[in-house]
Structure 1
Amino acid sequence: MAVLEDMPMSSKLQARDEILSHLSPDGLPFCWLSKTRPRFCHVICANVFRFFVINDWFEKLPGVYDFLCRMLETRAYLHGSRYYKNPDWFLYNLADLCARHPQDLQLQRMRDLLLECVRERMGCNDNTLGAALRALSAQSLGLQSERDLKILLDQQQLDGGWELTWLWGYGTKDVKIGSRGVVTAMAMNAIQRALV
């Protein structure tokens, strides 16, 4: 999931302003930048929040931090979302944010909750995408998930890659977007990080 790192600031500002023009009454970002499709997804919300904090726009989304922390506290993210069935996407986005801002005291509550949630999820199933997301999340928080690394190593195929995995899907149609390449890149990243 991109956070527009290599984009010029003018493009980032344009994206920010477009997102801010499509917020729910509670100040949470909608999935679609369309007034006719007011859909919400907590995984997309986490990714938007990550983009905003990385660019020092924390204050532009005042209610989002508390919302995301409540999702962690209540474990509501475990149900997945309409678009992202795997709950580990949520943890991955937030763990990546905390890794990018390790000394940010504004994120301390989230960091503490993430440590709990990531520890609870380590090795919880043998889903390849989930194992890669959990391993990367753990590493972002200074942990190692040996169980998830073992899952990844056990599921590596003869050609060095991993099986096709569904990354996300459309809400109203049974259309799923999958990628063998993305999962392979994530798994390799997790394994390489573990060796450092």
Structure 2
Amino acid sequence: MIQALSSNWIYYITAGLATLPEETLHHIITCKEWEALEHGEIGEHEAVQRITASLFLPSEHERKLETLFYKNAFSNFGVSPQAIDLGSQVLQGKAWLQGNARRLVNQIEGSVTFEDTFSQFLIMEVTNDLSLLRLHPHKDLETNDDVRNTMNVAKKWNYFLDKPVGTTKTFPPDVDSTSYALLAFTPNVGVDDLLDSMLANRNGDGLVQTYWDPTRPRVDICVLTNVVRVFYKYDRSAEIQESLAYISEGLTSGTYMSGTRHYCTPEVFFFFVSQLVAAHPYAPEIQSLRVPLAKALASRMGLYEFEVTQAELDLAEASQAKGEKYEAYVPEVDSLAITLRILACQSLGLRPKGIDQDISRLASLQCDDGGWPLGWVCRYGRSKLRIGSRGVTTAYAVKALGTEAMMSAQIMNVAHLELNERPHQHYGHQDRFIAGVAGQQLSVGQP
């Protein structure tokens, strides 16, 4: 029926399907072009052109009509309505990412925007799309080859792409940004030396500290999780067991529930740990995290409002006693937090109560331009001002909803095919759709 997904699919899908006049719809579904489309005699684009020409439809109706054909066609392939709707949203999200490629900035809560490295590595990990990244602050025409060459050599990364914003005038490189660079990419040069440098930056308890700066002896359980992920990825897991034990203890005790020094919500911790567990199914010390993580996730699904915790009140009081300006933070479950807990469940193969509610809520949060609203990625350690990113939220939402579309798609069985005498190659079209919305084939840019 559909020979290929045309290059204009994203454009057509973003137009949405609005209500056409009743007489127009009647003409469409009874005309010979529609019948020819359903019998696979012509493609969807040719059918649209013929019908719009015969009806003298304006261009906006042509786009809506093509979306109508898209939904009808994939319904005939046995794809569930939910998968079709989510697939449309995924394509819109990918279109937004492509339209903002190399311009995916962060925003400080109630303040200015700036560019960083960390969020770009987050985006790269879930999209595998080099065309979205900008890693040279003073190079406007950065190419995919430029990014590849930059990332081929392991190095310490600073959170800020250019000058620090919202903090001290000088800012040291950190192990979180550096770790995520090593997770999103696999450099050919310098990895072991860089990991040695991380080990040399441990405190007296054997925990890797966040900054390569002796004047900032910080430890964050979310940051440590990414460090552990890196050491396991590069086959040096034996050297990072103290940090792994700290993560295990924290997961069990729930000390992360009001967020951590640098992260706003526990969902960030859930996601990072879930990626560690999913990546190492045969490491018993890692798999021991699966059950407590599943329990923690189950307690959060479908929840959106929280009260300030006693821990936050105590921190606020202590900070004020030191003369520091600090207000107790109420963890906000925004679009990114919802996305992260969905992704964590998907990574672990879990389907807890409340996940369908979360998926529906995430889908409902999509903006008119195809992206998702600002989600809080992290926060400043001292001021607690949050740092948000539409790019990260949209990339992760696309991944989560794409995976859900793939899981909910109803694959036609062989008996149904034989009964209807449909050609076997229809599987290919359906698989192309499913893979595309799940982010496995229809990427917005090839690396």
Shift of 1:101: 1.3
Unpaired segments ≥5 residues, structure 2: 1-121, 123-179, 305-332, 407-447
What is residue 130 of structure 1 aligned with on the other side? Answer: 337
Once the two structures are superposed, what CA deviation does each residue of 1:83-123 show, in whole Å capped at 9, x if it has no partner? Answer: 10111111111101111112322212111211111122212
Secondary structure of the structure 2 residue equivalent to 1:79: coil
Secondary structure of the structure 1 residue equivalent to 2:288: helix
What is residue 191 of structure 2 aligned with on the other side? Answer: 12
| In structure 2, distance between residues paired with 1:134 and 1:142 | 12
Which residue of 49, 52, 55 corresponds with 2:234? Answer: 55
Shift of 1:157: 1.1
What is residue 264 of structure 2 aligned with on the other side? Answer: 85
Shift of 1:177: 2.4
Secondary structure of the structure 1 residue equivalent to 2:299: helix
CA change 1:89–1:154 in 2 (3 A) is same
What is residue 192 of structure 1 aligned with on the other side? Answer: 402
| In structure 1, distance between residues paired with 2:403 and 2:206 | 36
Shift of 1:73: 0.9
| In structure 2, distance between residues paired with 1:31 and 1:89 | 16
User: Which contiguous aligned blocks of 4+ residues in structure 1 show a shift greater than 6 angstroms?
Assistant: none
Shift of 1:3: 5.1
| In structure 2, distance between residues paired with 1:19 and 1:147 | 40
Q: Which moved more, 1:6-15 or 1:155-164?
A: 6-15
Counterparts of 1:163-174 in structure 2 under 5 Å?
163-173=373-383
| In structure 2, distance between residues paired with 1:69 and 1:106 | 9
Counterparts of 1:1-196 in structure 2 under 5 Å?
1=122, 2=180, 4-5=182-183, 6-125=185-304, 126-144=333-351, 145-173=355-383, 175-196=385-406
Secondary structure of the structure 1 residue equivalent to 2:190: helix
| In structure 2, distance between residues paired with 1:138 and 1:119 | 9
Unpaired segments ≥5 residues, structure 1: none
The AA in structure 1 aligned to 2:376 is W
Secondary structure of the structure 2 residue equivalent to 1:76: coil
Given the two structures, how large is their TM-score scaled by the length of structure 1? 0.93
User: Is contact 1:54–1:97 with CA below 8 Å preserved after alignment?
Assistant: no
| In structure 1, distance between residues paired with 2:265 and 2:276 | 19
Given the two structures, how large is their TM-score scaled by the length of structure 2? 0.42
Secondary structure of the structure 2 residue equivalent to 1:166: strand
Q: Percent identity between the aligned chains?
A: 32
| In structure 2, distance between residues paired with 1:150 and 1:178 | 22
| In structure 2, distance between residues paired with 1:176 and 1:72 | 23
The AA in structure 2 aligned to 1:138 is C
> Which of the pair has the greater relative contact order for Cα pairs under 8 Å at 6+ separation?
2
